[in-house]
Amino acid sequence: MPGVLPPATAPWPERRRRALADPTMRAAVAKTTRNLAQGKASAYASYPPGEAMRVRAVTARRSALAHIDALLEELTGNVEAHGGYVVRAAGPADVGRYVLDIARRRGAERVVKSKSMATEEIALNEQLEAAGLRVRETDLGEYIIQLARERPSHILAPAAHKTRGQIEALFEREAARTGVTPPTCDATPELTAFARRQLREEFLAADVGITGGNFLVAETGTLVLITNEGNGRMTTSLPPVHIAVVGIDKVVATWADLAVLLQQAPLSGTGQLISTYTSFITGPRRPGELDGPEEFHLVLLDNGRHELLGTEYEDVLTCIRCGACLNVCPVFRTIGGQAYGSIYSGPIGVVLTPLLGGLDHAPELPKSACAMCHACRDACPMEIELPRYILKLRRTEIEKSMEPLTVRLTFELWGRLWASPAGYRWTARLARLGQRAFMRKGRLTKAPGLVGGWTATRDSPPVAKETFHEWWRRRKPGSLT
Amino acid sequence: MVAAAQAGVAHMSRTGVVDRLGQEGARGLVQEFMNNWVALSGDAWLALGGVDDVRRAIAEAAGAMVAERGPGSPRRVVAWATEELAPLDLPGLLTSLGFECVWGTDWSGGAGGEGDPSAAPTARPADAPGATAAALWQRRNLAATSDLGITTCSWAVAETGTIALYASPSAGRLPSLLPTAHVALVRPSQIVRSIPDGLRLLADHRAQRGGLPSAVNLVSGPSRTGDIEGDFAVGVHGPRRAGVIIGEW
């Protein structure tokens, strides 16, 4: 069964136009992506074990997918053996129902969240808010865009597009709403201190903490959580209930596998050798312990993942959400994450969005949001063949619009002609003859049939009076056969 | 998100640092660990002259990392209740420095405190059934209003500047998380080269104890973010200052 993703915020042409007309966002995204890409390059260069571990990590991830059902069973047994609860969720509604059941049983009103792509994928916040719960994102960037009611512009830097002035204004509004002292200026330490005060109150008052998970270790039933700010530790240490919503693809078999994987996300994501905080959580608080949650729930999210196993797209499930492909993508660097209309942006978003949400969900992404430069393939630490997948998805999508016989025959004929030099040159001569009727001021402004699709949105330079081949032959007789 | 790091401060004690470090390999790891911790904006003290030297370093760290609260308002400290810390007499030391010790520092007095999981835990009134939730709540709020948290660690990693904290009945999650500053005591022999080396020690622990702790936290410097215009900032959630004291006691 395919999964369900949140609908796009607006049609693609509108999203694209809005992004291109926002110089502040574009400058911020350009700066962020450049810094992160450089950080990654220098991190691997300065840390030789990183590359050796990366190669083994790829094998570990692929092998986990090959045994995923057995590993999930082992994981479940081990989490339960430590007093945790495990539930499998097919899609968004299952997770919402499960979390709301817990909230009702506990009489919970307030939820704090640590940044998680899985919960964004299923629009969990909206589900919980619709049921009357108060949900607070606690990653600083996510907090900012939650206050602004926007979507992330970058997987690792959700509020990269926001200026400090805009952030100060959001915080002032929030201070007025909650009746606290607003930040005194727009300096980073002052804004950070305001967020610390506000979010600390939220952590201490929360009834439920919800996180995602970077990895799951089957052999011990352990959840691995990586953050830099410490909000992951807060969310898993303070509220009496911790619920982790994690894609089934995050499972690995052993700690030996995790040992080579653990540093890949920070190395490839931010260029750190390790994140500031890495938490290994095995069940809830034990008897005698003075802190930590009473209840630990692990929600294993499918949402279209299982269906990708065994297909040509399987390796896309090895993604560790590091964002390295975003940082090198010329399209992403130009339009930023919001224009993708999906919670997954950049090259991985172009692939994951239609694969998880169904091929009809965002057909414009493989069709329009890739320049086929292959930079993402080189950047991906898990060696996911993103350009190949994008091309396959593009082909699938284009083939749908190639139903009429005339269209198929035209492309068939075109392909045959251009498969040989003689055919190619013959079409050039033919086009030179035919184009006269469509020329305006030395440009082709319209064209007949299928080619009209090209000239509908742009002019085309005409075929030259003399092609290079013709010129060459005239200058050096006999050199071309 | 993270921007470029700012360096913290390394404090070397004046007394024969290098001589006391012993063999070359260990010395290299200690220096590498300190350098990397400091590069992550952490603070580091070297105190290899025994109990008194470590106590002096703790006093120095407390003074350097925690600002005065003003007259009539003592600074608060919260610490792990592990037996490993007992010889340092932290309550005595910190009280003499003007700190109020809020919990986890009362190992003495015969009750055995929270004790080690291996030792027979002695229930206190506050931990009796029914009172547990209230006691936890109170401890939590005390930790949240503390200025300084003191812990040891299970191992540390030289090449990444990382310490590993295992949760247990005597070693809570909060003393290293909620106070404004956290300082961890690290023995030179606990420092390994790489993260995988450290994880092998965790595997040993698992084999010996028949399972993993409920929570293991790897900490590499103070809480950091770059979410405001890519600007590096510390302390958005966790401690603003993170210190290590490398010492023998």
User: Is A288 close to B114, i.e. CB distance below 8 A?
Assistant: yes
Pick from B144, B200, B237: CB nearest A204: B144
Q: Looking at the complex, does the CB of residue A423 fall below 8 Å from at least one CB of chain B?
A: no
User: Is B230 close to A196, i.e. CB distance below 8 A?
Assistant: no
Q: What percent of chain A has pLDDT over 70?
A: 99
Could you give the domains of chain A?
1-28+322-401 (1.10.1060), 47-136+207-303 (3.40.50.10420), 139-205 (no CATH), 405-475 (no CATH)
In a domain, residue B69? The reply is yes
How far is C-alpha A297 from the chain's CA centre?
A: 25
pLDDT of residue B6: 46
For residue A277, pLDDT over 80 is answered with: yes
Whole-angstrom distance, CA of residue A203 vs CA of residue A238:
7
Pick from B144, B224, B229: CB nearest A276: B224
- A396 or A313, higher pLDDT: A313
β-pair type (B155-157, B191-192) = parallel
Residue A452's pLDDT band (cuts 50, 70, 90)? confident
Tokens describing residue A103: 């909230």
**Closest approach of chain B CAs to the CA of A428, in angstroms?**
52
Positive or negative, the Cα torsion across A367, A369, A374, A378?
negative
On average, the pLDDT of chain A sits at: 94
User: Is A192 close to B202, i.e. CB distance below 8 A?
Assistant: no
Q: Looking at the complex, does the CB of residue A125 fall below 8 Å from at least one CB of chain B?
A: no
pLDDT of residue A439: 84
Pick from A159, A167, A196: CB nearest B235: A196
Q: What sections of chain B are H helices per DSSP?
A: 17-20, 24-39, 51-65, 90-96, 132-144, 195-209
pLDDT in tens, A222-254: 999 999 999 999 999 999 999 999 999 999 999
In a domain, residue B4? The reply is no
Whole-angstrom distance, CA of residue A99 vs CA of residue A256:
32
pLDDT in tens, A135-160: 999 999 999 999 999 988 899 999 99
pLDDT of residue B11: 64
pLDDT of residue B136: 77
Count other C-beta atoms under 10 Å from residue A210's C-beta. Answer: 29
In a domain, residue B21? The reply is yes
Residue A408's pLDDT band (cuts 50, 70, 90)? confident
Chain B residues near residue A277 by CB distance under 8 angstroms? 217-220, 223, 238
In a domain, residue B90? The reply is yes
- B84 or A452, higher pLDDT: B84
How many residues does this entry show for chain B?
249
In a domain, residue B243? The reply is yes
In a domain, residue B196? The reply is yes
pLDDT in tens, A6-52: 999 899 999 999 999 999 999 999 999 999 999 999 999 999 999 99
Chain B residues near residue A156 by CB distance under 8 angstroms? 1
Q: Chain A: residue nearest B135 by CA? A: A290
Pick from B230, B237, B238: CB nearest A35: B230
Report the C-alpha dihedral over residues B79, B83, B86, B87, rounded to 10 degrees.
-140
Chain A residues near residue B141 by CB distance under 8 angstroms? 204
**Closest approach of chain A CAs to the CA of B160, in angstroms?**
6
Q: Which amino acid is at A325?
A: C
DSSP state of B151: E
Distance in angstroms between the alpha carbons of the first and the last residue of chain B: 38
Residue B109 is part of a domain; what is its CATH number? 3.40.50.10420
Residue B78 pairs with which residues in a beta bridge? B103, B149
Whole-angstrom distance, CA of residue B62 vs CA of residue B65:
5
Q: Looking at the complex, does the CB of residue A75 fall below 8 Å from at least one CB of chain B?
A: no
Q: Looking at the complex, does the CB of residue A147 fall below 8 Å from at least one CB of chain B?
A: no
ipTM value for the complex: 0.89
How far is C-alpha B199 from the chain's CA centre?
A: 19
Asked whether B188 and B30 are in contact (CB, 8 A), the reply is yes
Q: How many CB pairs below 8 A link A and B?
A: 195
Residue A204's pLDDT band (cuts 50, 70, 90)? very high
Residue A360's pLDDT band (cuts 50, 70, 90)? confident
User: Is A228 close to B1, i.e. CB distance below 8 A?
Assistant: yes
pLDDT of residue A36: 96
Domain region containing B34: 9-247
Chain A residues near residue B139 by CB distance under 8 angstroms? 290-291
Q: Which amino acid is at A301?
A: L
Output the CA angle A371-A376-A378, nearest 5 degrees: 125
Count other C-beta atoms under 10 Å from residue B201's C-beta. Answer: 14
Tokens describing residue B69: 């609260």
Q: Chain B: residue nearest A152 by CA? A: B227
Whole-angstrom distance, CA of residue B105 vs CA of residue B78:
7
Report the C-alpha dihedral over residues B133, B138, B141, B142, rounded to 10 degrees.
-140
Q: Which residues of chain B have pLDDT under 50?
A: 1-7, 13-20, 105-130
In a domain, residue B186? The reply is yes
Q: How far is CA A135 from CA A47, A182, A407, B101, B205, in A?
A: 40, 21, 51, 35, 37
Tokens describing residue A41: 């390059």
Pick from B121, B217, B235: CB nearest A233: B217
Residue A362's pLDDT band (cuts 50, 70, 90)? confident
Asked whether B47 and B53 are in contact (CB, 8 A), the reply is yes
DSSP string, A220-247: TTEEEEEESSSHHHHHHHSSSEEEEEEE
Whole-angstrom distance, CA of residue A41 vs CA of residue A54:
14
Q: Looking at the complex, does the CB of residue A160 fall below 8 Å from at least one CB of chain B?
A: yes
**Closest approach of chain A CAs to the CA of B237, in angstroms?**
6
Q: Chain B: residue nearest A161 by CA? A: B229
Chain B residues near residue A189 by CB distance under 8 angstroms? 233
Q: Chain A: residue nearest B113 by CA? A: A288
Q: Chain B: residue nearest A288 by CA? A: B169
pLDDT of residue B71: 84
Interface of A with B in 19-58 (CB under 8 A): 28, 31-32, 35, 47, 49, 53
Pick from B172, B224, B229: CB nearest A290: B172
User: What is this structure's pTM?
Assistant: 0.89
Chain A residues near residue B213 by CB distance under 8 angstroms? 282
Q: What are phi and psi of A54, to 5 degrees?
A: -60, -45
Q: Looking at the complex, does the CB of residue A259 fall below 8 Å from at least one CB of chain B?
A: yes
In a domain, residue B54? The reply is yes
Interface of A with B in 80-119 (CB under 8 A): 82
Tokens describing residue A321: 């959400």
Coil, helix or strand at residue B155: strand
3-state helix, strand, coil split of chain B in percent (to 5) is: 35, 25, 40
Asked whether A267 and A324 are in contact (CB, 8 A), the reply is no
Chain B residues near residue A140 by CB distance under 8 angstroms? 225, 227-228, 236
pLDDT of residue B124: 41
Q: Chain B: residue nearest A264 by CA? A: B195
Chain B residues near residue A204 by CB distance under 8 angstroms? 140-141, 144
User: Is A156 close to B213, i.e. CB distance below 8 A?
Assistant: no
Coil, helix or strand at residue A447: coil
- When divided into structural domains, chain B yields a total of 1
Report the C-alpha dihedral over residues B111, B114, B116, B121, rounded to 10 degrees.
60
DSSP string, A179-219: T-PPPSSS-HHHHHHHHHHHHHHHHHH-SEEEE--SEEETT
**Closest approach of chain B CAs to the CA of A295, in angstroms?**
12
- The stretch A186-212 carries a mean pLDDT of 96
Q: Chain B: residue nearest A237 by CA? A: B173
